[in-house]
């Protein structure tokens, strides 16, 4: 009981020191910026705050790292120097390229373009991990990133309802189903690390390169009739109206398809179990 309470007290002390360090860092920066605190005083306060943060982080994250007062001060100085360099780099070297005089974000890529590239990288990297991973579990987790990246691309394309449907159905439904199927089946070779190797990885990579090249050439060279100002309006209400007017018949057919798939999946997956239960009953 006593050990428990002292553990709790140490935990709270670490949390308090960490929070105080972070708060002091922000407070010193704000005072320097708006209240005209002197530079030396600010740097001293920031250094002490970094010391507090390093001590708190060490107590939380690297529990087994022995940290004497001397090494704490030395390590904090190193962290402080690193932070100072990063801040100087961002403020003095990167910022003039990224922010123009009106405070807008410019430069090599604009912010929306940057978001697109991050999402596209996430999507393609996830798909590549799914295609080339040696382990089927890693393939499934890569598929998660591919699905989430595609949902982000939908948002960039002004399709909010398909983005939500993507997250709910693919990530919440299909991926969980795939993980269940992986766990319920014994994989080739006994462990869940099977792959490939029918055509082999080089032929697969050559196939991927050829397909990407052909489709990319077509996408870039074809004269698409692009509209001048694409809209970013919310689409959920209009989609619902479209489903109940222009696309009513396909909508109803889709519901029948889903019902048939539900019943069919249960029948197909439970057939063998039913026979075994019958044999059990006969005995």
Partner 1 sequence: MTSIGLPHFLIVGAALFSLGMVTVVTRRNAVGILMGVELILNAANVNFIAFNHYVDGPGKLTGQVFSIFVIVLAAAEAAIGLAIVLAIYQTFKTIDVQETDLLRQ
Q: Which is nearer to partner 1, 56 or 126 (CB)?
A: 126
| C-alpha span between 21 and 43 (Å, rounded) | 14
Q: Which of residues 139-158 bind partner 1 (CB under 8 A)?
A: 139-140, 143, 146-147, 150, 153-154, 156-158
| C-alpha span between 4 and 11 (Å, rounded) | 11
Asked if 146 and 131 count as a contact pair (C-beta separation under 8 A), the reply is no
Binder of partner 1 out of 200, 248, 252, 277 (CB under 8 A): 200
Q: Which of residues 94-113 bind partner 1 (CB under 8 A)?
A: 108, 110, 112-113
Structure tokens at 9: 């007290």
- Residue 266 near partner 1 by CB under 8 A: yes
- Residue 247 near partner 1 by CB under 8 A: yes
Q: Which of residues 2-41 bind partner 1 (CB under 8 A)?
A: none
Q: Is 191 helix (H, G, I), strand (E, B) or coil?
A: coil
Whose CA is closest to 152, among 165, 163, 141, 140? 163
- Residue 123 near partner 1 by CB under 8 A: yes
Q: Least Å distance between CB 101 and partner 1?
A: 18
- CA dist list (Å): 29 to 32, 39, 42, 82: 5, 10, 7, 17
Binder of partner 1 out of 75, 84, 116, 141 (CB under 8 A): 116
- Residue 167 near partner 1 by CB under 8 A: no
Q: Which is nearer to partner 1, 43 or 122 (CB)?
A: 122
Bridge partners (DSSP) of residue 105 are 99
Asked if 79 and 50 count as a contact pair (C-beta separation under 8 A), the reply is yes
């Amino acid at each position: 009981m006593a050990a428990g309470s002292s553990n709790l007290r140490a935990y709270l002390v670490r949390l308090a020191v960490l929070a105080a360090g972070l708060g002091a860092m922000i407070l010193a920066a704000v005072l320097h910026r708006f209240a005209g605190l002197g530079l030396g005083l600010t740097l001293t306060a920031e250094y002490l705050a970094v010391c507090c943060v390093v001590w708190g982080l060490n107590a939380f994250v690297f529990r087994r790292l022995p940290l004497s007062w001397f090494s704490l001060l030395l390590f904090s100085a190193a962290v402080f120097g690193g932070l100072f360099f990063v801040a100087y780099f961002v403020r003095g070297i990167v910022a003039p390229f990224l922010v123009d005089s009106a405070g807008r974000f410019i430069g090599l890529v604009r912010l929306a373009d940057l978001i697109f590239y991050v999402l596209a990288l996430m999507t393609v990297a996830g798909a590549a991990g799914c295609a080339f991973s040696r382990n089927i579990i890693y393939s499934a987790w890569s598929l998660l990133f591919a699905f989430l990246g595609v949902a982000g691309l939908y948002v960039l394309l002004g399709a909010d309802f398909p983005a939500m449907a993507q997250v709910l159905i693919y990530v919440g439904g299909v991926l969980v189903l795939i993980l269940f199927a992986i766990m319920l089946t014994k994989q080739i070779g006994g462990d869940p690390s099977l792959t490939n190797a029918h055509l082999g990885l080089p032929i697969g990579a050559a196939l991927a390169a050829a397909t990407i090249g052909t489709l990319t050439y077509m996408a870039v060279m074809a004269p698409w009739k692009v509209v001048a100002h694409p809209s970013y309006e919310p689409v959920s209400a209009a989609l619902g109206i479209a489903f109940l007017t222009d696309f009513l018949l396909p909508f109803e057919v889709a519901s029948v398809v889903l019902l048939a798939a539900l019943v069919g999946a249960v029948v197909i997956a439970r057939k063998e179990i039913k026979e075994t239960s019958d044999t059990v009953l006969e005995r």
